[in-house]
Structure 1
Amino acid sequence: MEKNKISIYISRSKENEDLPLPKYATEGSSGMDVVAAEECVLQPGEWKAVGTGLFMEIPSGYECQVRPRSGLALRDGVTVLNAPGTVDSDYRGEVKVILINHGKQPFKISRGDRIAQLVFAKVEKAELHLKEELTATVRGSGGFGSTGK
């Protein structure tokens, strides 16, 4: 196995054997394009979980992030609603992509259309410790927009 590569085991349902497996579009791509295994139409403002027909075995300590495709977002206003979506290492069900149409026109998804990107990332587990008072910072409790434009 090459440096910076992990092994992901993948399977697909029998009725989707004709669909391409996720793949990187270019050598420098961070995400693998994944395609829809079903057809549907998203009306403006509507969202749906679109099946991919894929099932994955992700190594412990990793996740699969489901991210939007920039072309769909720019051209059609279609994006991943819970971006990035997460596929956990212990999940074995079908990978689905929650898409939303923020555009003004209905958006047709055909079987085999590229609908999202899959990015595999290492996950660090946190150990939480209750503390009476947290360390002070210059920002403090300043929230959204508190650091300026």
Structure 2
Amino acid sequence: MIELRVLLLPHGADLSPPAYETEGAAGLDLRAAVDKDAPILIPPGGRALVPTGLSLQLPKGFEGQVRPRSGLALRHGVTVLNTPGTVDSDYRGEVKVLLVNFGTEPFSVERGARIAQLVVAAVEHAVVVTHDALDASGRGKGGFGSTGW
């Protein structure tokens, strides 16, 4: 277990902090910290940056991956546009979620709604070494679809 420090911002202080909904859940649910009287309406094909009302302090060597919630995608066609979004360990600003509505109906983001999940993952830094050539591989330069469908 690692410690994830969470700062509840004034506009999110009354919301539940991120939580695992089940013992085996990989992600902590993130909630919308929108004004109760002014939900965000995302039209079909539209997108919105939704505040969560919290800031994080992840341990060095870890990142927070902001991922979609499968139920929103299935029922409404709403997902995280830049999935997974990355929260770096040195970022201290508010976590916001970029939602997109691929559904056919407008989607209303209400205060406290679970809008995404945060997976905390270890990150390795690489030492970049330039070379004149790379080792051969079975795949070679084959790109998109080169290994079959």
Q: TM-score, normalised by structure 1?
A: 0.95
Cα drift, residue 14 of structure 1: 2.2
Cα drift, residue 12 of structure 1: 1.2
Cα drift, residue 132 of structure 1: 0.5
Deviation string, structure 1 residues 32-59 (Cα, Å, up to 9, x no partner) = 1110001201001111110000011111
1:15–1:137 Cα change, 3 Å: closer
Cα drift, residue 15 of structure 1: 3.1
Aligned to 2:72: 72
Runs of 4+ in structure 1 deviating by more than 2 angstroms, as ranges, are: none
Aligned to 2:5: 9
Residue 132 in structure 1 maps to residue 132 in structure 2: yes
For 1:100 and 1:75, the matched residues in 2 are separated by 14
> Which amino acid in the other structure matches residue 114 of structure 1?
R
Residue 58 in structure 1 maps to residue 19 in structure 2: no
Aligned to 1:48: 48
Identity of aligned residues (%): 55
CA RMSD of aligned residues (A): 0.7
Cα drift, residue 27 of structure 1: 0.4
1:96-135 pair list within 5 angstroms = 96-135=96-135
What is the SS of the residue equivalent to 2:6? strand
For 2:44 and 2:129, the matched residues in 1 are separated by 45
**Among candidates 11, 18, 27, match of residue 14 of structure 2:** 18
How many residues are aligned here? 145
Unpaired segments ≥5 residues, structure 1: none
Cα drift, residue 105 of structure 1: 0.6
Q: TM-score, normalised by structure 2?
A: 0.95
